[in-house]
Amino acid sequence: MPTEVILPKVDMDMATGQISRWFAEEGAKVKKGDVLFEIETDKAAMEIDAPASGTLRDVTGKERVDIPVGEPVAWIYADDEVYAPISPLVGEMSAKPTEGGAVPPTSHSVAPPSGLPAISPTRGEISQSQGPARATPLARRLAREANLDLSAIAGSGPRGRVVRADVEAAVAGKGAATPAQTAAEIPAELPSAPSPAPRPMPDDQVLKLFAEGSYELVPHDNMRKTIARRLVEAKSTIPHFYLTLDCELDALLALRTQLNAAAPMRKTDKGEAPAYKLSVNDMVIKAMAMALMAVPDANASWTESAMVKHKHADVGVAVSIPGGLITPIIRHADEKTLSVISNEMKDLASRARSRKLKPEEYQGGTTAVSNLGMFGIKDFAAVINPPHATILAVGAGEERAVVKKGEIRIATVMSVTLSTDHRAVDGALGAELLGAFKRLIENPMGMLV
């Protein structure tokens, strides 16, 4: 029996993925462990190995097309196996029912229409008239909230899958009981329910506002779709509140200059170079990690059943990449030296921009830092990235007039804003955390001991 090659789930949020390129062609001889293709998810590109040795056949996974997780994209035939070709559209043809409506259970293959190859039942031959309706998770949730029977909705997605637009159309045209809810089952008075979340303006209504020919449509890639979904989810499910204060940077900048000047030299391919070069952001990461350890109740994540109290500070750092952003994580940042954090951050950022991060390098974390200071942004508020309960938005350091003991002087000041999940961190606790961060930034020698 040939070995099925599926599109694997390489990210906990991954529902679909794209094959960016194949490394083996139809009919190629492959060995177990050879790289077959590269997956492009919303966050990274990963190489997928062959699960068996043999001949690669029936390569149905097309490049640059959204493919559901778990979908077969090819098969590998062992050298002693007889090859039986299949339809290029795997899974889209269902077994043809008999006159009695049942699918013949024992036939080895289904007689196809004239001119089409046979389909082997070992490859997931399923009658679409049986089993639960095919639908996306979002469509299932919307149908459940609207008390609609999915099997009564005609799907417009791939292979008849019910998608969000189908459910919304059914809701808009719902004037009588659905097949799953007869008139006898409808109560005279329904209990009040929360108002549904406002829906965005439909695409066609948006496009009507602009003159035809005055724009071009660029389809969303997986990364942009995931960013949009997670941001809407975060803002609609997490009760954000914000705390802002100013930190003086002069002592930190002076220490940074001293530490960089004292960096030992090491030999590289490009000649001698310093062993490290600290940035302000490296010191911000360290200060945030140490602040969380000083205020452990703020180093938490919310779940419906319990508060998750973390024993270490794993700090995610927002990195801009083409088409979006990703948040690689400095694990145990509270225990690492500034030089280790600096070099690790440079490596993570470089691999993030080339989409070479492993899932464990950007999943999880206990907090995050987003720094737009290099763009001259004075202050801003960031959106919390679950499962974090906090995220620190860092603005630019700039010279400002400050008053000390009744005298005006010039200081380099940086504004920071802490976005907090009010379910996990209350106002006073958030203020305590931000105060601990400010003390470390303004007295940076504390980060060296």
Q: What is the DSSP letter of 26?
A: T
Q: What are phi and psi of 80, to 5 degrees?
A: -95, 10
Residue type, 294: A
The pair of three-digit structure tokens given for residue 198, joined into one six-digit string: 């406002």
At residue 156, the 3 state secondary structure works out as: coil
Return the ∠ at Cα 373 (arms to 424 and 380), rounded to 5°: 45
Is 388 assigned a catalytic role?
no
DSSP 445: G
DSSP 306-341: -EEE-SS--EEE-EEETTEEE--EETTTTTS-HHHH
Residue 419 tokens, joined: 């976005």
Closest CA to 281 of 372, 350, 347: 372
Q: What is the DSSP letter of 64?
A: T
Given 240, 312, 332, 422, the catalytic residue: 422
**Do residues 348 and 341 make contact, with C-beta atoms less than 8 angstroms apart?**
no
Q: Secondary structure of the chain: what % helix, strand, coil (to 5)?
A: 30, 25, 50
Neighbours of 299 (CB within 10 A): 26
Q: How many residues does the structure list for the chain?
A: 449
Pairwise CA distance, residues 47 & 8, whole Å: 11
Residue 63 φ/ψ region, left for φ over 0, alpha for ψ in the -120 to 50 degree band, beta for the rest: beta
Question: How many Cβ atoms from other residues are within 10 Å of residue 49's Cβ?
Answer: 13
CA–CA dist 78, 2 (Å, integer):
7
Active site residues: 422
